Amino acid sequence: MDNCSPSPPRNEEDEVRSSYVNCSRGPSILGNVLFFNLPKLQTLKPSPVFSKRSCTGVVSTANNGGFTSIRTKNFSVPEDLSAYDGIELRLKGDGCRYKLIVRTSRDWDTVGYTSGFDTIKDQWQSVRLPFSSLRPIFRARTVSDAPPFDASQIISLQLMFSKFEYDGKLNPTFTEGPFQLPVSSIRAYIQDPITPRFVHVSSAGVTRPERPGLDLSKQPPAVRLNKELGFILTFKLKGEDVIRESGIPYTIIRPCALTEEPAGADLIFDQGDNITGKISREEVARICIAALESSYACDKTFEVKSVIPFSEPYTVDPENPPPEKDYNVYFKTLKDGITGKESLEQTPIPV
């Protein structure tokens, strides 16, 4: 920002955590709203979205004032944070109460979804603001008929220091004069324990068509006929890669041949894309549901089949059904980073 200039850090911690920016001479629009370009929101990677800034200035109640804020320019493309639980700020407090305003409209003077937070004087802290805590506010008044907050349509972020709370209440920590709020990062967060937000059903065999030394005659038809089937497994693998690289907590399930048989057979979970066999569609559906609630399944890729051979049909006695499975027993055995791509040559697959 043209009107902001860096000032020297005050101590070693500040040098690491924050580059001070003096914004006290910024433009005055609707109570000293200051603009600067921030790095693009990283919805898919755990990187900060707003880093190494400090808003420093003087706030006055003259001329019906009493508030100041710093705001991003509208993002060119709305940020989708619907896979996350809220926004986390890493900041050095000054003992005052501030507001985070998240906007879902490109209009200038409109409803902002707002949450207030307290800071601890002269202490670095992480402040988590759940999306559920955001309330629709327009000019310090609650808008009762505003639409629900949509985390998939985030247009801008704003930090505000104001003497006003909401609906006529005042900020008990507000004082006129200088203020400073160093901020090292603003990012989306997921509440621990992290569980998958995206469960993807792929196919066993996706890494095999181009695997060196593999005897294709012993592989399922989809592997042998990958080219004739329009490189279906090749593109399934590319789809998996997009998910794995997205940063969204995921589970990728690679079932072997799907059948219409009932669920309940004993299972084999494996990694590395080597097994063949069959599994019930109903069983795969149950695994998907269980994965959504299991931190052990998070960021894992695995293959699964039943122990029943193709030549043997699997049936269930309605009078004596098999016990329900605890899929966490299987999920706990899975390891990070095993996809079966480890054995592929590092060359592009022709399509």
Each residue's pLDDT tens digit, 18-38: 222 222 222 222 233 333 333
- Residue 1: the pLDDT is 30
Q: Which of 123-137, 180-194, 315-329 has the lowest mean pLDDT?
A: 180-194
310 pLDDT above the threshold of 80: yes
- More confidently predicted of 247 and 136: 136
CATH no. for 198-343 = 3.40.50.720
C-beta of residue 179 within 8 angstroms of C-beta of residue 56: yes
242-255 pLDDT, tens per residue? 999 887 889 999 99
Residue 266 CB burial class (10 angstroms; 0-12, 13-18, ≥19): exposed
Rounded distance between C-alpha atoms, residue 304 and residue 330, angstroms: 10
Rounded distance between C-alpha atoms, residue 91 and residue 48, angstroms: 12
Q: Where are the domains of the chain?
A: 5-189, 198-343
Q: Which of 57-66, 120-129, 171-180 has the lowest mean pLDDT?
A: 57-66
Rounded distance between C-alpha atoms, residue 131 and residue 133, angstroms: 5
- Residue 278: the pLDDT is 98
Indicate the fold that domain 5-189 takes in CATH: Jelly Rolls (2.60.120)
C-beta of residue 277 within 8 angstroms of C-beta of residue 306: yes
Rounded distance between C-alpha atoms, residue 87 and residue 69, angstroms: 18
- Residue 53: the pLDDT is 61
- Residue 299: the pLDDT is 92
- Residue 54: the pLDDT is 67
Assign 267 a pLDDT band (cuts: 50, 70, 90): very high
